């Protein structure tokens, strides 16, 4: 049976006062993030919003990653979103990671590849997963470290992208050992040379330009 036609006047329609701003912020977030599946991403967005969790939203729009041989959907901006959502836990249950990954409309096969590469079973150590994600964006350890610095830094965009040397050292050593092309002695020698530079600056931080210059000398 068809519903009867109902006439409404402006006085009968109650618009929640917070609705316009919610929709405005949602629209801006969708434009900035450019999800491939708007409905899937929207579900994750409003779920996070209702719980007060970090939103699945990029800081800015991104250009395609030129260093990738194929378009995997994974970008530096999306890795940064995942870092904001999951890094505080240190270790993340794989089902939770899968949910966040799906809400960003990223391909499942790419996640499976990274999990297999890191030999993760039920949990992931977040910094190791981030390192592998950065490695997936570029073909070299140097490019992976550049992505990691730009994701982890608290410097303003366009700045030196500095991170604590301990964090840099952990990521470099992890990726270099997985790569297998450098012997442990060479890895330690390179890190020790960088550590000497960092100690001279006395801030405990290393930026992208610092390690790229040193890498050319190796």
Both 119 and 26 in a single domain? Answer: yes
How sure is the predictor about 138, in pLDDT bands with cuts at 50, 70 and 90? confident
Both 120 and 100 in a single domain?
yes
Q: Are residues 25 and 122 in the same domain?
A: yes
SS3 159: coil
In a domain, 189, yes or no: yes
Mark whether 168 and 210 lie in a shared domain: yes
Quote the mean pLDDT of the chain: 88
Residues 166 and 97 in one domain: no
Task: Say yes or no: 80 and 168 in one domain.
Answer: no
Structural domain boundaries, residue 205: 139-217
Each residue's pLDDT tens digit, 158-174: 889 999 999 999 999 99
Please identify, among 85, 107, 127, the residue that sits at the C-terminal boundary of a domain.
127
If asked whether residues 108 and 190 sit together in one domain, one would say: no
Residues 123, 194 within the same domain: no
Are both 83 and 176 inside the same structural domain?
A: no
How many domains is the chain partitioned into structurally?
A: 2
Q: What is the pLDDT of residues 118-127, one digit of tens each?
A: 999 999 999 9
Mean pLDDT of 147-159: 93
What is the average per-residue pLDDT within 198-216? 80
* pLDDT number for residue 9: 65
Same domain, 173 and 120: no
pLDDT for the residue numbered 71: 55
DSSP letters, the chain, are -PPPP----GGG----TTHHHHHHHHHHHHHHH--SSHHHHHHHHHHHHHHTPPPS--SS-----TT-SS--S--HHHHHHHHHHHGGGSEEEHHHHHHHHHHTT--HHHHHHHHHHTT-SSEEEHHHHHHHHHHHHSSSHHHHHHHHHHHH--SPTTS---EEHHHHHHHHHHHHHHH-SS-HHHHHHHHHHHHHHHHHHTS-EE-HHHHHHHHHH-
Is residue 107 one of the residues assigned to a domain?
A: yes
CATH number for the domain spanning 166: value is: 1.10.238
- In this structure, the answer to whether residues 34 and 92 fall within a common structural domain is yes
Class of residue 78 by CB neighbours under 10 A (exposed 0-12, middle 13-18, buried 19+): buried
Same domain, 83 and 174: no
Does residue 145 form part of some domain?
Answer: yes
């Amino acid at each position: 049976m068809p519903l009867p036609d109902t006439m409404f006047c402006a006085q009968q329609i109650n618009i929640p006062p917070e609705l316009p701003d919610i929709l405005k912020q949602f629209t801006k977030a969708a434009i900035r993030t450019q999800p491939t599946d708007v409905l899937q991403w929207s579900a994750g967005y409003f779920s996070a919003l209702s719980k007060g969790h970090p939103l699945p939203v990029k800081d800015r729009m991104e250009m395609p990653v030129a260093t990738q041989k194929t378009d995997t959907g994974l970008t530096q901006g999306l890795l940064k979103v995942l870092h904001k959502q999951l890094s505080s836990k240190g270790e993340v249950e794989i089902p939770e990671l899968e949910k966040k990954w799906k809400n960003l409309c990223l391909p499942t096969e790419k996640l499976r590849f990274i999990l297999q590469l890191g030999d993760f079973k039920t949990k992931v150590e977040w910094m190791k997963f981030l390192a592998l994600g950065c490695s997936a964006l570029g073909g070299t350890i140097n490019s992976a470290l550049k992505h990691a610095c730009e994701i982890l830094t608290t410097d303003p965009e366009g700045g030196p992208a500095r991170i604590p040397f301990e964090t840099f050292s952990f990521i470099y050593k992890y990726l270099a050992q997985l790569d297998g092309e450098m012997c442990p002695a060479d890895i330690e020698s390179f890190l020790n040379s960088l550590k000497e530079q960092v100690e001279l600056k006395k801030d405990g931080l290393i930026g992208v330009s610092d390690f790229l210059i040193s890498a050319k000398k190796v």
